[in-house]
Amino acid sequence: ALWSGLAAMASAWLARRGIPVGLSFPLAWTLIEAGKAAGVLGFPWGSIGYAMADTPHIIQFASLTGLWGVTLWVLLVNGAVHAYLDLPWAVPKASALIVLALLFGAPFTHGRYVLEHKPPRPAVRVGLIQPNTDKDKWTSDVRGDVLDDLLAHTRFLAEAEADQLPVLMVWPETAVPAFLPREVEQLARVRGLVDSMGVALLTGYPDGTLREDRSWRVTNSAGLFLPGRGRVAQYDKRHLVPFSEYMPLPILDLFDFGQSSFSPGTVSGVMDAFDPPFGVLICFESIFPGPSRDLAQNGARFLVNITNDQWFGDSAAPVQHLRMNVLRVIENRMGMARAANTGISAILDPYGFLTRTSVTFEPVRFAGPVELSRGTTFYTRHGDWILWVAGVLLGGMFLWACRRPR
């Protein structure tokens, strides 16, 4: 709540010195919202730009500005409404109406043009497995059944899609309740499935390496298996969830809050052993603009998001988590395949439209085409330039206001 208070305080201070709230507040809020999402404690959940994820035809300009540009636009629209209601009649009120019309019209026009002139795109067929595994999968008497279920779902999907066999199957985050690279029997069964199908597999699992002091370094990982080659690549989740996957303050590890003790990875999640290369986002990473942009810059042609949203239960959160990915695909103009343990699994096109989705808390398996990128977007190349513009404008307002009496 203090973040919101900072934006309100800044715009109120400026308003007392003649700066319109309808202009200062959108700039201040956008910068504050971006600050709230930065660093190891960053948390952009609920950012205003995500409110527009249900209307991708309006926010195609996110390929230019990213999430924060959408947030700023929503706030500027509200600022124009405020100005219209606050200003006196005649010229000032008419000016506010003109600005409001431009703010509404520009994204609609741009979005319509982009969608009417979509170029043809190559695509790869991807299969998604949503096993709906319960949280007791980590108990010793259930672990084998969990893997049996994953193998069966994947074989059924491969048989059902025999005429258009997917080139990649995807299991969710920590789908395999085992240190898969370290457990010979489980690893052999996964490799056997991949070899028998002749289809690549991406799956999530925990992994661990033994340090010199005999303690374990545990990671939340995703491994790529190729037919005849076994595990050819692994990505260790880099942006961990604070207070859940690790404790930002080491002293808190002395207490058991039910948290995990994962260590962050250090390398990019681009799977370039697969053709075409794709980028992996594990759960929480997909709500931030940065990781997806990094993957696009490093050669990914499409995105794969694996997650386990079981902890959210029957709430709005699984829908919100899915919708945040709408911004990721528009920002970088590439398709995404999303496999979630209990849902929502989905395929998104490069323009933010959901082409396939699943229901929650039911076992689901399906396949579909995932469209590839055709080069990098302006946002991919230049990043959050809109924040620099907002910062310069707001800084200029403060300098100007400092020279005026209250």
pLDDT tens track for 181-210? 888 899 999 999 999 999 999 999 999 887
Q: Rounded to an integer, what distance in angstroms lies between the CA atom of residue 328 and that of residue 271?
A: 18
pTM: 0.91
* Matching residue, tokens 């946002």: 379
Per-residue pLDDT for 245 more than 80? no
> What is the pLDDT averaged over residues 358-363?
94
**Comparing 68-82, 149-163, 201-215, 371-385, which segment has the lowest mean pLDDT?**
201-215
- What local confidence, expressed as pLDDT, does residue 60 receive? 97
Q: What CA–CA distance (Å, rounded) separates 76 from 96?
A: 11
Listed range (57-66, 234-243, 317-326, 369-378) with the worst mean pLDDT: 234-243
Catalytic residues, which ones? 173, 237, 283
What's residue 319's pLDDT? Answer: 95
Question: Is residue 325 within 8 Å of residue 306, measured between CB atoms?
Answer: no
Give strand ranges (E) for 332-373. 336-340, 346-348, 354-357, 364-371
Beta-strand pair 200-210/216-226? antiparallel
Average pLDDT over residues 4-14: 92
Output the average pLDDT for the chain: 91
Inform me whether the pLDDT recorded for 301 exceeds 90.
yes
Span 46-57, average pLDDT: 94
Q: How many Å apart are CA 324 and CA 331, to the nearest integer?
A: 11
Residue 372 confidence class, pLDDT cut points 50, 70, 90: very high
Q: What is the pLDDT of residue 259?
A: 60
Residues 6+ apart with CB under 8 A from 79: 20, 21, 22, 23, 25, 26
The order of strands in the sheet holding 216-226 is 230-236, 216-226, 200-210, 168-170, 123-130, 364-371
Asked if 11 contacts 25 with a C-beta cutoff of 8 angstroms, the reply is yes
> Using CA atoms, how far apart are residues 102 and 79, in angstroms rounded to an integer?
13
Q: What integer is the mean pLDDT of 305-324?
A: 93
Please list, residue by residue across 169-204, b when 16 or more beta carbons sit within 10 angstroms of its beta carbon and e when fewer do: bbbbbbbbbbbbbeeeebbebbbebbeebebbbbbb
Q: How far apart are CA 343 and CA 338, in angstroms?
A: 9
Q: What confidence score (pLDDT) does residue 137 get?
A: 79
Sign of the four-CA dihedral 258, 259, 261, 267: positive
Tokens 């703010």 belong to which residue?
103
Please report which confidence band the pLDDT of residue 2 belongs to, taking 50, 70 and 90 as the band edges: confident
**E-only strand ranges, 56-172:** 123-130, 168-170
Give the pair of three-digit tokens for residue 139: 């108990």
Q: Within its chain, how far is the Cα of 90 from the centroid?
A: 45
- Reported as a pLDDT band with limits 50, 70 and 90, residue 159 is very high
**How many Å apart are CA 364 and CA 346, to the nearest integer?**
11
Omega prior to 276 cis, within 30 of 0: yes
**Among 25, 65, 71, CA closest to 47:** 71
H or E stretch including 64? helix 62-86
Instruction: Give yes or no for residue 258 having a pLDDT over 70.
Output: no
Distance between alpha carbon 223 and the CA centroid of its chain, in Å?
A: 19
